[in-house]
Chains A and B, each alone.
Chain A
Amino acid sequence: MRHVISILVNDQPGVLQRVAGLFGRRGFNIESITVGTSEEPGLSRMVIVTRGDEKTMEQIQKQLYKLIDVAKVVDLSQNPMVARELALIKVGAEPSERPEVFGIVETFRASVVDVAANTLIVQVVGDSDKIDAMVELLKPYGIKELTRTGVTAMTRGTLRK
């Protein structure tokens, strides 16, 4: 089962390596990983999307807590959450095709952030399924380049563990 884990860590050099290395050597899978500052000074937040059964998830949490730089680990997917990803998609679009592409962009509430002679960069924000769907629809126009941020997420409301 897919899980989204939020990890609060000390903002120290090498922390990403410690966390990623732990996943690697214990055979845990990483589907995506995002890192950035958090609301607490000196702490960063990582959001990792992983897959595993209950036992694996328990081990992931416990092993993460063994890292000295890890302050808190929460499996966000245990509760209602908002999970978002951003993608930039460079699409081949001759001027004649642009209206069609703009149509798709509008439907997905995405936006065009760059227009060049025969390409467009589309920026889309949403859950991973939405981005997958958008990518599928843009494929016929020729995707020149695709980059995705990976999922970042938080639980809804003020639920606190």
Chain B
Amino acid sequence: MSIQSVVSSSQSREELRQRLLQPDVITGSEILLRTLLLEGVECVFGYPGGAVLYIYDAMHGNPDFKHLLTRHEQGAIHAADGYARSSGKVGVCIATSGPGATNLVTGIATAYMDSVPLVCITGNVATSLIGTDAFQEADIIGITMPITKHSYLVRDVKDLARIIREAFHIANTGRKGPVLIDIPKDVSNQKTTFIYPETIELPTYKPTVYPNKMQVDKLLAAIEEAERPVILAGGGIVYADASKELMEFVTKTRIPVTTTLLGLSGFPSAHELSMGMPGMHGTKTANYALQNADLLISIGARFDDRVTMKLDGFAPHAKIAHIDVDPAEIGKNVKTAIPVVGDVKEVLKLANLKARPAKSEAWIQRIAEMKAQYPLRYKDAEDQLKPQYVIEMISETTNGEAFITTDVGQHQMWVAQYYKFRNPRSLITSGGLGTMGFGFPSAIGVQMAHPDKLVISINGDGGMQMCSQELAICAINNIPVKIVVINNQVLGMVRQWQELIYDSRYSHIDLAGSPDFVKLAEAYGVKGLRATTKEEARAVWQEALNTPGPVLVEFVVPKFENVFPMVPQGNTLDEMIMGDSEP
């Protein structure tokens, strides 16, 4: 399959649509494929097995349906996740019953924590066998109930088209999230007349989109009074495609912005009022601003513990305003004076009509001084290849415009600190669940959604080994992801905690015995490159960028580098260890 052929022209799409809508008598499997195509799905990530054989049989010879065979169901769901996060469309993955379905669990939880719209399709044993401990039977609905936005067991083929349509609607509206559809094997082979429901009727599901005007007015009044206001912008900005509205809001109100990990790409890192990320590995400036603010406006963020650190003592002087599409987030962790429920794009649009500046010029001045005094920095050395240097180099050579996926750990924090993001949706990272093994397969999904864009997957040597099998699908489908492995030969973040908090008692963090990553790539038919010095790093990175097709680049870096600044757990945001970033 050529990756370019995934996106068909709009004219052929309309023709396809008319063909698909025909009320033919077809099997559940054919209904599934037709409905997915009608929902605009361009590519599905999956892995076949016994309970989905009819579904895969229906794919056979179907020229309209694009399916990417991964090498593990976890790879499939992370790819679907990357596809969804980078495009705003629903990501779709398919797995068989039992172990196929349970292999999706980590990916479902990852998407749930970060509010990513996915539709996960699992086969199940035939209806007559459900509950009998049949071969490859697992109660995947029960298993995933706490980590899905909703789930369906399809008992009758007549419900299938409606259920799929509802699932897409639920996944990608309100606070987004994964929806699971479990299809017993017999249902996928039952026939019925295909009727694609025109409308979706979900009387018990009505997310609030448009905010209460009075609440927005209250917010605007508070802004005009505020002398030390701060905006905390989260993933909601990115997911609601509200970056433009945020920029207008910031420009009009003159409020400095700190962006959470998931919000990083939602506001340009280089902007005069950007303070970078707050929290455990945030900037001194962002944390200072939060601790000294008199008004804190959270927009599409959820006061995660990695952001607030010790809650008792978080933003002690601030009146809190909280804009969120999910009312349950408001008041969950911090007491909120001005709640605004609604889609953040709609809230900001409305606010922008009347937004006036805060009394913030002296505060902005103070923030600028802080930024100048405490920039993010590390101890660079000419004779060493520092991981932060690698990230800075990647940022500079791509002008902050590539799609970046990360895994979890030190490299993830260095990406958050040193990559200068410019475009919304350009950072794909597992924030809430912190899923190792996410970084590489998610990049495959990003590349499928953006065939012509530069996609770079940045991983540690630990996480790379959790899903490295997907190198096969990069090779065979010529998916041109640039795979970076920052290899420090240890589980770096765990090592850092053991050093700082457990008196350097290093317990099971040594990754000796890892493969030669260059050879590993080559074994799959992917080009592999390695750098151990700065000079080599610049050269091989340029070579990687100039190489069409997938490339894996290993940067061998020192073991004992730490992510600074750091707020140790149990401390408030102003109790930071500056470490190497000390001026």
Chain A interface (Cβ within 8 Å of chain B)?
9-10, 13-14, 17-18, 21, 25, 55, 58-59, 62-63, 65-66, 68-71
Output the least CB separation between A44 and chain B (Å). 12
B214 at the interface (CB under 8 A from A): no
User: With A17-B145, A21-B145 given, is the CB distance from A68 to B331 under 8 Å?
Assistant: no
C-alpha spacing A65/B170, complex, angstroms: 14
A70: nearest residue on chain B (CB-CB)? Answer: B204
Whether B150 pairs with A68 at a CB distance below 8 angstroms is yes
Which B residues are closer than 8 A to A by beta carbons? Answer: 141-142, 145-146, 149-150, 153, 170, 175, 202-205, 326-328, 331-332
Q: Min CB distance, B130 to chain A, in Å?
A: 11
A17 contacts B170, C-beta separation under 8 Å: no
- Nearest to B335 among chain A residues (CB) is A55
Contact A63 B328 (CB under 8 A): yes
B153 neighbours in A (Cβ, 8 Å): 13-14
Whole-angstrom distance between the Cβ of A151 and the nearest chain B Cβ: 24
Quick one: given A14-B141, A66-B326, are A55 and B331 in contact (CB under 8 Å)? yes
The answer to whether A68 touches B202 (Cβ under 8 A) is: yes
Verify B328–A65 contact, CB threshold 8 A.
yes
Chain B residue contacts of A68, Cβ below 8 A: 149-150, 170, 202, 204-205
Chain A residue nearest to B175 (CB atoms) is A66
With A21-B146, A68-B204: A59-B332 Cβ-Cβ less than 8 Å: yes
Complex contacts, B175 vs chain A, CB 8 Å: 66
Q: Are A10 and B204 in contact (CB under 8 A)?
A: yes
Interfacial chain A residues near B326, Cβ < 8 Å = 66
- A17 CA to B326 CA in the complex, in Å? 22
B204 & A62 in contact (Cβ 8 Å cutoff): no
Q: A10 CA to B202 CA in the complex, in Å?
A: 10
Cα-based distance from A17 to B327 in the complex (angstroms): 23
Q: Closest residue of chain B to A10, judged by CB?
A: B204
Do A59 and B204 form a contact, CB below 8 Å, given A21-B145, A21-B146, A68-B170?
no
Q: Which residues of B contact A66 (CB under 8 A)?
A: 175, 326, 328
Among A17, A58, A62, the residue within 8 A (CB) of B142 is A17
How distant is the Cα of A13 from the Cα of B131 in the complex, in angstroms?
14
Query: Whose C-beta in chain B lies nearest to the C-beta of A9?
Result: B204
Chain A residues with Cβ under 8 A from B149's Cβ?
68
Can you sample 23 A-B contacts with CB below 8 Å?
Answer: A9-B204, A13-B153, A14-B153, A17-B142, A21-B145, A21-B146, A55-B331, A59-B328, A59-B331, A59-B332, A62-B327, A62-B328, A65-B328, A66-B175, A66-B326, A66-B328, A68-B149, A68-B150, A68-B170, A68-B204, A68-B205, A70-B204, A71-B204
